[in-house]
Structure 1
Amino acid sequence: MSQKKDAPLVGIVMGSDSDLPIMEEAFKALDGFEVPYEVRILSAHRSPGATAAYVKTAAERGLQVLIAGAGWAAHLAGVIAAETILPVLGVPIDSSPLQGMDSLLSTVQMPPGIPVATMAIGKGGARNAALFAVQILALQDPLLAEKLHAHKRKMAEEVVGEKNRKLEDYLAARKSAPKGK
């Protein structure tokens, strides 16, 4: 299911529909940069054949980067990386009793020769996976590169401007508040 009218450049795969609230952060980031993507639910364990078939045709369908989000020590990103030469970005999902540590370890501890770029656990990792995908795509797309530069400038301005203004307001209010015991 393509999310944009243009051919998707990024494939987002998640192991379960329960991962959707986390992976939604990747959708939002890609939408912000107008990068077309497609999304699938595929499991390394419950649907290994369908997962392999999807990955084996990804490059010929025009995908350039794959993002895989999975929880419960699932090896989705590794299974995907074993079937392609496309960059694979793994997002550990914090859905298990171990709060994502199992997912993190299963994603980051890949054997030599099967690389997976592993992001942080949860929503921040999903967002960073999308931003990393945009950075990869920007190597060949000057317009996308400029959008990334503008994004970084905006983040810097927010820290230097707005966040410091809020801090100054807080400190001034704190200073003028009556002293306690």
Structure 2
Amino acid sequence: MAKVGIVMGSDSDMPIMAKAAEVLEQLGIDYEMTIISAHREPDVFFEYAKGAEARGFKVIIAGAGKAAHLPGMCAALFPMPVIGIPMKTSDLGGVDSLYSIVQMPSGIPVATVAINGGANAGILAAKILATSDDEILERLKKYSEDLKDQVVEKDARLQEVGYKAYMEK
């Protein structure tokens, strides 16, 4: 059963939402990905958000651009954590999305990552799940160690070849 719901308002959000899915896959966490427009199909959206708990979701990751109501409406209907991903927009660079998601009224919080922060949304969902799942916690610790090792390897290469050769890759 999927523990994380990944929902987006448009398939144009897919490249960013895929980054959340990739992290969850790396960490062995089941998810379900869906495209639903809160504005264009409100009945379908309400059914999704109200039924998410019964389907076993513990966290929802919701990405949206422009007016970006999807994450906030998920948080209004789903009793567990919602992570919002503001999408970069051509009009205002995603600041509009960021403000729409982060400026929630009291009592309806949405954890919000950076504009186009799909990977961090996946990591945050995993960290939330890890508070009650030791296996996920151990996989997260290994993930963090792997990130550290990547930096160490990059620095070793820099020290070996110098910055000019490093930049040429």
| Same topology, TM > 0.5 | yes
User: What runs of 5+ residues in structure 1 fail to find an aligned partner?
Assistant: 1-6, 175-181
Q: What pairs up with 1:120-139 in 2 under 5 angstroms?
A: 120-122=114-116, 125-139=117-131
- Structure 1 vs Structure 2: percent identity of aligned residues? 47
1:78 to 72, 76, 80: 72
The residue aligned with 2:138 is 146
Tell me how far 1:170 sits from its aligned partner: 4.2
When normalised by structure 1's length, the TM-score is 0.86
SS of residue matched to 2:2: coil
> What letter matches 1:134 in structure 2?
A
Which residue, out of 47, 51, 60, partners 1:53?
47
* Runs of 5+ unmatched residues, structure 2: none
Partners in 1 of 2:18 and 2:90 — Cα distance? Answer: 19
- In our comparison, the structure showing a higher alpha carbon Rg is 1
1:41: which partner in 2? 35
| 1:64-97 Cα shifts (integer Å, max 9, x gaps) | 0000001112211001111121100000011331
Count of residue correspondences: 165
| C-alpha separation in 1, matches of 2:62 and 2:159 | 41
Alpha-carbon distance change, 172 to 57 in structure 1, aligned in 2, over 3 angstroms: closer
Identify the residue that residue 92 of structure 1 maps to in structure 2: 86
